[in-house]
Chains A and B, each alone.
Chain A
């Protein structure tokens, strides 16, 4: 079993992305193969230097950086969405792989779960 968790919502407007991330870490904690795909507005999760104190939310940067430590296999960003949101390897968190073909990525996994 291999699972791809897809996050397509920006990090702070809704809670769904955070709960999808909890699902990801939970699978990893049970030694299940799991990867993350950020697409659409979701690629904003991967932006460097997010400052969130004024909206009284915790930055998601630490969570993303911790993903490999918790055993998350890979973090993918949809390449087209990154272009749309002005994200490149220079202003993105380290350790993210660009996915040129998200459809192919979905086929490579036996399970897929979308954030709300």
Chain B
């Protein structure tokens, strides 16, 4: 049996707010294999974004274990942790907030290339152009400010930045939610193509089952910080078991009434 790329065991996180504690994550277990897409779905406040950020070590968990490529992720500190980040990337929900207001497209993509020394400095402009073309953008965009291009283009730049270091896993936190429908479909196609070419695994956080059905192999449903259901995308939509899953299916009417049709 292949070793899981990512294995999460008993992950817990509480936030203390004004005296009361909120349990954001409660005993999360999940496994993700190389080249696979696991969707994390749930309503707002279900803890899915917290889980995504905890796996990226942007939030420190209180309990549990995260193993990535067989290594204990939570034990890593400083230089080790930063080096590991080249293999574990993230794309954020809001492509506007996820870039430094002063950054140009070229700088946004150059950062990971420079930090992880992926290519020598003199080859970086060429690599930036290649990466832009891989995500379906013109290399002429490189000199533009990230905030002067459209939302769809910006999210493609975010993807180019994420794949620059050849990661094994990309966590996509509602990565297409802020995009309008036509752009969303194209970005999803791009993600699928990149996965086929590079064998990247995706942890795809979303609240939209229509999108999830298109990209995910398996789906885990989160509710109040727990995984309440785990199934293939088709099974979950056809036959949701938990209340949270039923609510999500009901919130996507076209799936409820014609579950067989391609979205």
A joins B in a complex: no
